[in-house]
Structure 1
Amino acid sequence: MTNVIDVEGVSKTFVLRRRAGWMRRERVDVHAVADLSFTVRAGEIVGYLGPNGAGKSTTIKMLVGILTPSGGRLRVAGLDPSRQRLRLSRRIGVVFGQRSQLWWDLPLRDSFELIRRIYRIPALRYRNNLKHFVEMLALAPILDTPVRQLSLGQRMRGNITAAFLPDPEIVYLDEPTIGLDVVSKTAVRAFLARTNREAGTTIVLTTHDMTDVEQLCRRVMVIDHGRLAFDGELETLRERLGGTRTLRVDLAEPLPAMTVEGARVVRVHGARQWLELPAGGSAAPLVSEIAARYPLVDLSVGEPAIEDVIARLYTTDRLAPDAP
């Protein structure tokens, strides 16, 4: 697969003027992004994660051409975003948080029609796409409702549809499930996964909803203080910083806390016991030992929550900034 996004040593510095006295101001350089390098291959769904102020939004704005890098080199679909922004705009889709690209006083259907005209989408392709998106995102009941009367979740589904209508090669999504109920979140995730699978659309996802990441992204990049703290598979991050896994064991009868090598019992309730074991190790030897020594009825393994894994990354120095 070819790279559709190339970021090489990119930095972005904002210059601020801060009051330093009654008649004097001093210059302050704020380094939002520092020596950032990564590539994204065509057809990937990548989670781009980090705490507020880490540099995520600055990076995305440089990738779409809103901001010009202070240093380094950027290429998106073979184009320089800041110099060729108009050409690039026809090949990408963007959803920026709660900022709507829909027309406030027009019905949702008319907003989509205007997008068709702006992007010059062929009529047949537009009809097929709209029918498909309306069905998957449950938009039919609100197509004739003015955008200003829609809930936050309904507008978000409309914005996602607007971003994908022109069949872009790359789509940047900032908090795409914000304001959605559980059913709508499930529908949006299914839509993104299916569109990526069938159309090969590259998706860069920034979100604080870790369920989005777990269900959509095999690869994640974590940025902190403008630098890349991790770039790799989600499972690798979980193994390296995941802490502990939980093994829930159901026995045929209540027994004292089990003693098994490589794990410790943290709770006993009747015939059920909970054990903790390192996240990076295999549970198979432990399961075999329990099955051989105890009257085992059932068991299940619980992985560490991805929220906890990301939080550990922010608060530990166990991963170097250039970790693979």
Structure 2
Amino acid sequence: MNTVDVSDLTRQFVLRRRSRGRRRRVREVLTAVDSMSFRIESGSAVGYIGANGAGKSTTIKMLTGILVPTSGTVRTCGLDPVRRRRELAGRIGVVFGQRSQLWWDLPLRESFTILAAIHRLEPVAARRRTDELVEQLEMAHTLDTPVRQLSLGQRMRAEIAAALLHRPELLILDEPTIGLDVLSKQRLREFLRRERADSGTTLLLTTHDMGDIERLCERVLVVDHGRLAYDGTLPGLARTVGARRVLVVDLARPSGDLTGLAGATLLAAEADGMRQRLAFDPEITTAAQLLAAISNRVEVRDLSIEEPDIEDVVRRIYSAGDGTAPAPSDAGAVARGATPGDEAESAAERPGEQGVHNAAEGGTAGVEKAVQRGATGVDDDRNHASTSL
């Protein structure tokens, strides 16, 4: 069963600017997401990565019902995110690293109580779930502290607890470890692994921290210029861009440089030649073949293999740009100076979406808060206590 099912998903924005030397406005069509298709199986953990402006946030907003697709279909937890948004809010949890779903001036305990009421959790079940999350995330000493006084690491743990309070089928994390120290990141990652194992929660992770991807996700989606550039495993991603592995060989005695080996390149000779580092392409030669060739020349005392650094791999994809990812179609690029027809404009402008055309990668903060709180009818600011509740 698929928790997320996306088919030919496209989202266009109409931008209007005043042209130089003219009195009329020129309309431009920007495609933030271009004919994207993918599926996420229930219980899996998927990393969704891309450079700034690649279309990640726009995709997330369509998955959660914040934005209406221009074309294509999307199903989240088997539901149409736009038409059944209220029902969907009770089945997903969302954490945006730069936005809070907690009440800024209230103690953390009261934020959890309000969120439990919004999700219509039974009081006994809500207390049990809250106690469980508080224990696992080590938040007992912060429950009576106003959210505004929490450290960044404490607040992020609280945000994740709030998103998991109602046991969602899908957890979407957007930059969950941004600004956290190494220890806080490690604790969050360990908790998320346990939660997935215990509850079978599907995880969709958007981040620039490749450590999160390596430790939490078995699959990665790379988006570039609004199109899906890669869908597969992390090792497969390294092979896609031709990343090389490194064989580190410790020799029994000093030796000359190990050069002239088929499919390998000497990177460095250290410790008077006792340790030598050779890069090789797994598509050309294997570590076993390379070791056999080395053993015919020198006596090997020890060896190790260094896998490609995932950050370097992704950096190469970003820098490659159009050379790696499929180039957007003409309709997907910004049509500088063009004046699209009425059909193109109407496709980009759906009813109820006025004011969001300039928010391809940002904005819509008030709407995001409503989704994260689980009810579209609650519009009060997160940073103030709601007197009606």
> Does the alignment reach a TM-score above 0.5?
yes
Change beyond 3 A, Cα 1:57–1:124: same
Aligned to 1:53: 53
- 1:316 and 1:185 map into 2 onto residues whose CA distance is 30
Partner secondary structure for residue 154 of structure 1: helix
Aligned to 2:88: 88
User: Where does structure 2 lack aligned partners over 5 or more consecutive residues?
Assistant: 328-389
Question: After alignment, is 3-12 or 124-133 more displaced?
Answer: 124-133
> How far is 1:292 from its partner?
4.8
Amino acid at match of 2:278: L
Partner secondary structure for residue 39 of structure 1: strand
> How far is 1:129 from its partner?
2.8
| Preserved contact between residue 102 and residue 147 of structure 1 (Cα < 8 Å) | yes
Aligned to 1:266: 267
Q: % of aligned pairs identical? A: 53
Alignment of 1:1-324 (within 5 A): 2-21=1-20, 23-259=23-259, 260-270=261-271, 271-280=274-283, 281-314=285-318, 315=320, 319=324, 321=326
Partner secondary structure for residue 103 of structure 1: coil
Partner secondary structure for residue 228 of structure 1: strand
| Preserved contact between residue 153 and residue 178 of structure 1 (Cα < 8 Å) | no
Q: What is the TM-score with the length of structure 1 in the denominator? A: 0.93
Aligned to 2:346: none
| Preserved contact between residue 238 and residue 279 of structure 1 (Cα < 8 Å) | no
| Preserved contact between residue 228 and residue 325 of structure 2 (Cα < 8 Å) | no
Amino acid at match of 1:68: V
> How far is 1:10 from its partner?
1.1
Larger RCO (alpha carbons 8 Å, 6+ apart): 2
- 1:304 and 1:128 map into 2 onto residues whose CA distance is 44
Question: After alignment, is 134-143 or 245-254 more displaced?
Answer: 134-143
Cα deviation digits, residues 26-50 of structure 1 (max 9, x gap):
1111111111111111111111110
Partner secondary structure for residue 103 of structure 2: coil
> How far is 1:70 from its partner?
0.7
Cα deviation digits, residues 4-24 of structure 1 (max 9, x gap):
211111111111110114632
- 2:198 and 2:291 map into 1 onto residues whose CA distance is 39
Q: CA RMSD in A?
A: 1.8
Amino acid at match of 1:262: G
Task: Select the structure that is richer in strand.
Answer: 1
- 1:266 and 1:32 map into 2 onto residues whose CA distance is 41
| Preserved contact between residue 10 and residue 72 of structure 2 (Cα < 8 Å) | yes
Q: What is the TM-score with the length of structure 2 in the denominator? A: 0.78
| Preserved contact between residue 32 and residue 55 of structure 1 (Cα < 8 Å) | yes
Amino acid at match of 2:268: R
